[in-house]
Structure 1
Amino acid sequence: MASFPDDVSARHHLLWRALTYLAAAQLYLRGNVTADRPLQAGDLTASPAGHWGTVPPVAWALAGLAVQDLPVRPVIGAGHAGIVQRGYAWMTGDLGELRPRYARTRTGLEALCADFPHCDGLGAEVHPELPAGSYVGGQLGGALAFAQAAAAADDGTVVVPIIGDGEAETGETAAAWLADPVIRPRAEHAPMLPVLNLNGLRMGSASLLGTRAAREVDAYLAGTGWRTRWAHVRTASLDEARQFGHVLAQALEAVRTGERLVLVLDMPKGLTGPGAGTPACHKTPLPDPATDPRQLDELRRWLGDYQPQRLFTTAGAPRRDLVDALPRWPPNPPPQPPASPRPVQSEPVTWSRAAEDVLRAHAERGLRVFSPDELASNRLGGLTGEQWVTEVLNEPLLAAWLLGHCATGNPGVVITYEAFAPLMHTALIQHAKTLRLTAEGHRWPSVNVVVTSLGWRNCYTHGDPSLITTALGLADPAIRVYTPADPRRATAQLDRMLADHGQINLLVVDKHGPVQGPADSIDAELDHGWATWHEPENPPQVVLVSIGDLAATQLTTTLAQLDVPARHVHVHEPAVLGDPGRWPQAIPHQQWARVFPPELPMLVVTTGQPAALWPLLGPRGHRRLDIRGWHEPPAPLPDSELLRWSGMDIPSLTADVHRAARTAREAM
């Protein structure tokens, strides 16, 4: 093995010691944070909280990357490693810029340690506004897929996902190994180097890959198309830093020439801390050193091994040689400037042609379409084979790809069956949390999901509109749900979604193209989220509300057969029905009273679940409210029977309207 520069190895080892010390200090200290004197019980936090086990390997990988003379973008798979990110950002000064109380001084470090794990609203886990924070995570399994999409859209920066044992045994990660040639074709892909930390343990027991012999790990990854290089770390010594640096440099060079290579970091969990290599080191290996003298002695030895006096000045700031080892990771690329939505088609359109036209127009601005193997089924088969279209039958993988692509400043969309869309809800919730955590979230391209092939027209196992219920239940203004009445409205909304920023957009559309709505209200629906479709000649006795295309079709047909004067309102965005105090786009109270008078019965028909609407409509306090929508069938039913089962067939709706109007008259 050729020699690796001693100065680089020394900087790696120095930075690793600092990162691990700062992580342990956040877990345990509230005073004497640079250990200028022997620790006393009064220096310690009363209730240590956080995660230690993932710190040493993540810090080892980050320190090794920091001293390489290459532009790299780390993607931290373990959200619990945010404690490492906090220490890194404190040393670079990024943390102090975000929160001045955590300045790069003794006072700032004392505040950081005393505030951990809440950290002045930053929390304890990976944060998007700090270095190496492009992937916040929050659930295991998405880091590799996120990094793949980020690499595919990047400009040559080497993307380095750091993947732990627990993540490696998720289905999402397993699929991502296999799917790499799909998202990153060899002829054009940007470099990516996964670092797989195999320490033999997940949280509390042996992990699947970590307990396999090296040759079995090699064979497993080779079977999915990857070569391996191993780095063994047993004591975190300077010599091991030198060996790791050599292997890392070779691996980075290999991936820059097009190899699919995994760097396997064989490093015990919680190395250098108490209980290393055992489940006891996952969280706080010393649970109560403030009251247990034996644990206090062990904590003194543990922290002293990092030689903090050689890391920090007497003023509590990082020493100059430590600061010099801290390049700042590149920030997230800026998004494309917003596109101007195209004019709405003046004539009725079909979903297939119009949607494909919209997607092709945005592909010129970096759009990528991700879908299960169902584009043709969703009547978008004309897109199959386009370089900017990727189909893999794994929704969690697609969601991670979507987030990784959007993190590079480019627009993206997942198009999937309604039944399978709920598989993405955890990733979307995590992205909603990411948007809340960063002031720059409004600049990121919106994350878009098109939900089609509705359960109303599909087989029994393919009926599940619950993603929309979950999304509305979060009451997050950044999550926008759209329920257009026809393909013309749906494609106009899709065009807007792909051009906007800072949102999570969910579009529900029936690929079969139901009855076309009135043309004169389209702009109002797109701009304000609702419009009145029909106003009777005589004062209305009931207000009918449709939400979604199938609901619009059913109510339009019912209204044509009624002898009861009824107002028909179509809701393009369900959140307009909510309380204006919580939903910025909601109908103001004064206007609400005019459109939905409290003395008139209100019958709402939705393509989704009624459970999605009660939290919106409940605070409005309407006394005569009824909701019809998806009602889970007891067994497979034909379309017409499913409508009847849910109370959405024409005879049932007609009877509901007559009953509501009669009750209202009797109450007068």
Structure 2
Amino acid sequence: MNHDVITDEYLEKMDAYWRATNYLAAAQLYLLDNPLLREPLQKEHIKKKIVGHWGTVPGQNFIYVHLNRVINKYDQDMILLSGPGHGGNFFVANAYLEGSYSEVYPNISRDMDGLQKLCKQFSFPGGISSHVAPETPGSIHEGGELGYSIAHAFGAVFDNPELIAACVVGDGEAETGPLATSWQSNKFLNPVSDGAVLPILHLNGFKISNPTILARLSREELDAFFKGNGWKPYYVEGSDPKEMHRKMAETLDTVVDEIKAIQKNARENGDTTRPVWPMIVLRTPKGWTGPKVVDGNKIEGSFQAHQVPVMMDKPEHMQILQDWLESYHAEELFDENGRLIPELQELSPKGDRRIGANPHANGGKLLHDLRLPDFRDYAVDVPTPGSVEKQDMIELGGYIRDVFKLNDDQKNFRIFGPDETMSNRLNKVFEVTNRDWNNPIEEGTDQFLAADGRVMDSMLSEHMCEGWLEGYILTGRHGFFASYEAFIRIIDSMAAQHAKWLKVCNGLSWRQPISSLNLLLTSNVWQQDHNGFTHQDPGFLDHISNKKADVVRIYLPPDANCLLSTMDHCLKSKNYVNAVVASKHPRPQWLTMEQAVKHCTQGIGIWDWASTDNGDDPDVVLACCGDTPTLEALAAVDILHKEMPDVKVRFVNVVDLMRLEPKDKHPHGLSDVDYDTIFTKDKPIVFAFHGYPTLIHELTYTRHNHNIHVHGYHEEGTITTPFDMRVQNKIDRFNLVIAMINNIPSLGNKGAYLVQKMKDKLVEHKTYIHDVGIDMPEVAEWKWSGLK
């Protein structure tokens, strides 16, 4: 078939294909059996509970069918992202008709038996969800939480010069903050080295029960909105299928020609000037082609079409459903075996060009491991613990700089973060790359901006940076997201959605592993004495720790060498969400690289050089997790040893937080035997933790030793000194010493004078900072003594 010429005959066949997709989408909602109505529709053919959505489906089917023609005409590499969230039956119907679905799920065969199973499984116990989920071939975007479709689409096309990501934007979704910001993503697209995003705003007029804002704007106002955001909108509007097919086909040809012309000019002439990219505004009735009226209520063209248009709770509904399904004339579309007739089948693209089979939507197929430098080459020389002071993130920056160097020819690695790369001390990366920016640059004012930059931090939106990264790794590349710890909370739900995506993918053999979602949390709670209370929130760890254990990993390296080892591991890993909390401020360095590798490999360990139990049973276990808690715990053991040298302290440091959880709950968890070997079964444990204390209790509540006293963040602290932040939350050295003494029963009253001395120090500290404005010299200038 000649896909280049838009003849009436071709459009009639497209309409027939569209009818087939609409029929299968409606059948998935309702039918348990009798999938092509080859016998009169009976009550037993209908699902007892009908769950799903219809309103967005016909319009998205319309788009899919037309994208098929474009793919064929241009031999175009194209994926489709469905932003509306609901209506997964549309994507399943199209993937089934093109054959990609049955290739992944042979049990859903292309015959009557397969059709019956296809219909039954939708929104049915043991079946598939109503969203475009990980189980759906061709999908990289579930849309369960609205707002991220365009961000994912742009992430997919960065460094993918031949790919077009067609992105359906629901008009309800368009009202979310992240989606509204997403229109600015065109300012970061390089027409030379990146692909293109084709947004298709689907205006069907209604949300669940309200009209949508953009659908009620005048053409003039809508036009001004998109042009003001740097887009060139093309409008396809109407309800008559014959007219709409021709409008859509002609518009798509115009738009794709325009995209290719932009790219040709940029690539042949080296012109990276930001172009005005085209987009489509498609206005169709909600629930298009469905029932017009049910029980006196208008359905098509109203919010009533959003979910299930006919509830089947009245006898007359059976006839409404039958008339609706029969209106698509399935008998003209499928042969006697239940297979789409050949003349319609030939409209579908072939092989990997099919949307449901495109390798970019199964990114692990395209994934190449990063070439990584040996992280040991970036080691901080630590002659003795605490003898050297460095900034962990600056040291990491040299390693990441060279990751860029080694993978420059592959163009498969980027950093993402909201205007914080310099603040987070990754400055060294700008020795080899720039920030991505496709807008005017002011010489003498701007720093490190270029159209081919690979640092994605020129937009102050956590949502956008996270969405770009997700799209980037879902299509087979690598990267990480660096953010202030407190404001990583903005993307809590995005990280959760990705973790859920990975959890499902782990059960799908055909989904190839992708690089991990690496989240680097710095500018953390204990470094926010100057920004104050609003910048203090370590709660992301609590949030992400509750996701599936086969997906989530949490690391808190105490120094630069441990951070280097940890990040090297994370960049090599696949199918995880890795959360790493790192310091960016000058800190003492504790471990040599050799020690750090051993420590990080084990994830937890007794630091013998900081312990005074000398292999005996300890009087107390002093544990710590995080850079600042480690510093304060070491200072505490130093004080206790000088003042009461007979007290036996076992010093434990935790890098891999999930080592605390039992082995039967997390693959990194310690067995009870190993846990008891480190922490004992009954000795008091004083635990200095980076985050909220309750998380440690949650992770350890089934362990034998419940004699644990956790010091962590208690929502205290404003503009103050660094040490006072620790004092206000009682993770400081003085309070840790008090806690150890008070929880060693064998001491009796022997520690009373030291407890009083520590309390006096706390008063002295408060007086000093209020008078002088900085921490006491004995705190600010403290050095590890080596327990002399």
TM-score bracket, shorter-length normalisation: over 0.9
CA distance in 2, matches of 1:574, 1:5: 63
Are 2:659 and 2:668, in contact at CA under 8 Å, matched by a contact in 1? Answer: yes
Q: Counterparts of 1:326 and 1:242 in 2: how far apart (Å)?
A: 18
Q: Give the structure 1 partner of residue 501 of structure 2.
A: 434
2:500 partner letter: K
Inter-partner Cα distance in structure 1 for 2:348 and 2:523: 50
Q: 1:455 aligns with which of 513, 525, 534?
A: 525
1:546, CA displacement in angstroms? Answer: 0.9
Quote how far apart the aligned CAs of 1:663 are. 6.3
Check whether the contact 1:551–1:606 (CA below 8 A) recurs between aligned residues.
yes
Q: Contact 1:541–1:664 (CA<8 Å) still a contact in 2?
A: no
Q: Residues 7 and 604 (structure 1 numbering): CA distance in 2 closer, same or farther, change over 3 Å?
A: farther
TM-score normalized with structure 1 length: 0.94
Mapped to 2, the partners of 1:284 and 1:573 lie a distance apart of: 47
Structure 2: segments with no counterpart, 5+ residues: 263-275, 292-298, 383-389, 436-452, 750-788
Letter in 2 for 1:202: K
Q: CA deviation at 1:481?
A: 0.9
Shift in alpha-carbon separation, 1:52–1:581, aligned structure 2, 3 A: same
Instruction: Say if 1:191 and 1:256, in contact at 8 Å, map to a contact too.
Output: no
Three-state SS of the structure 2 residue aligned to 1:420 is helix
Q: Deviations over 1:141-164 (max 9, x none)?
A: 100011012112214121111111
Deviations 1:475-520 (A, max 9, x none): 4321111100012211231222222221111110111132212325
Answering whether residue 110 of structure 2 is matched by residue 76 of structure 1, we say no
Contact 1:76-1:162 at 8 Å conserved across structures: yes
Matching residue's letter, 2:624: S
Shift of 1:558: 0.6
C-alpha RMSD over aligned residues: 2.1
Q: What's the CA shift string for 1:623-663, capped at 9, x where partnerless?
A: 21111111112765543333122211111100101111226
Partners of 1:264 and 1:475 lie apart in 2 by: 39
Shift, 1:84, TM fit: 1.1
What amino acid maps onto 1:249 in structure 2? D
Deviations 1:200-230 (A, max 9, x none): 2122101111110112111000001001101
Match of 2:551 in 1: 478
CA gap 1:634/1:358 in 2 versus in 1, 3 angstroms: closer
Preserved CA contact (<8 Å) 1:372 1:393: yes
Partner of 2:775: none
Judge conservation of contact 1:195–1:264 (CA < 8 Å) in 2: yes
Contact 2:485 2:537 in 1 (8 A): yes
* Alignment correspondent of 1:554: 632
- Matched residue SS, 1:583: coil
Aligned-partner SS, 1:356: helix
Between 1:390-399 and 1:129-138, the stretch displaced more is: 129-138
Deviates more, 1:3-12 or 1:446-455: 3-12
2:398 maps to 1:357: yes
Which deviates more, 360-369 or 631-640?
631-640
What SS does the aligned partner of 1:546 have?
Answer: strand
**Structure 1 CA distance, aligned partners of 2:111 and 2:588?**
66
Letter in 1 for 2:239: R
Could you list the per-position Cα deviations for residues 449-487 of structure 1 after superposition, in whole angstroms to 9, with x for gaps in the alignment?
111111222121101111111011224321111100012
Match of 1:206 among 199, 205, 211: 211
Greater mean deviation of Cα atoms: 530-539 or 18-27: 530-539
What is the letter of the counterpart of residue 388 of structure 1? R
Distance of 1:361 and 1:86 partners within structure 2 = 43
1:420 aligned to 456, 463, 487, which one? 487
Are the structure 2 counterparts of residues 634 and 342 from structure 1 closer, same or farther at C-alpha, using a change threshold of 3 Å? Answer: closer
Q: 1:196 aligns with which of 198, 201, 205?
A: 201
Q: Gapped runs of 5+ residues in structure 1?
A: none
Is residue 494 of structure 1 aligned with residue 567 of structure 2?
A: yes
Aligned residue for 1:224? 229
Residue pair 1:122, 1:437 contacting (<8 A) in 2 also: no
Counterpart code for 2:513: R
Q: Alignment partner for residue 515 of structure 1, among 567, 573, 588? A: 588
8 Å Cα contact 2:147/2:179 also seen in 1: yes
Q: State the match for 2:140 in structure 1.
A: 134
Matches within 5 A, 1:32-43: 32-43=34-45
SS at 1:193 equivalent: strand
How much has 1:545 moved relative to structure 2?
1.4
Determine whether 1:238 maps to 2:274.
no
Structure 2 counterpart of 1:540, which letter? P
Number of residue pairs the alignment of both structures matches: 661
Identity of aligned residues (%): 26
Between the aligned partners of 2:373 and 2:702, the Cα distance in structure 1 is 34
Which stretch of structure 1 is more off in the superposition, 168-177 or 311-320? 311-320
Residue number in structure 1 paired with 2:541: 468
Contact 2:688 2:711 survives alignment (8 Å)? yes
Give yes or no for contact 2:375–2:399 (8 Å, CA) kept in 1: no
Amino acid at match of 1:331: P
Which structure has the larger Rg over C-alpha atoms? 2
User: Aligned to 1:267, which of 274, 277, 284?
Assistant: 284
Paired residues of 1:112 and 1:119 also in contact (CA < 8 A) = no
Give the CA deviation at 1:7. Answer: 4.5
Relative to structure 1, is the Cα distance of residues 96 and 511 closer, same or farther in structure 2, using a 3 angstrom cutoff? same
3-state SS of 2:319 partner: helix
* Structure-2 separation of matches of 1:579 and 1:7: 65
* 1:295 paired residue number: 317
Cα deviations across residues 352-410 of structure 1 (Å, max 9, x unaligned)? 43222222222243211111112222222344534110111110111100001112211
Which runs of at least 4 in structure 1 moved beyond 6 Å after TM superposition? Answer: 663-666
Q: Which amino acid aligns with 1:553?
A: L
The counterpart of 2:513, out of the listed 425, 434, 443, is 443
Q: CA deviation at 1:339?
A: 4.0
**Which of 596, 600, 618 is the matching residue for 1:526?**
600
Q: TM-score, normalised by structure 2?
A: 0.80
Contact 1:442 1:501 in 2 (8 A): no
- One-letter amino acid of the structure 1 residue matched with residue 137 of structure 2: P
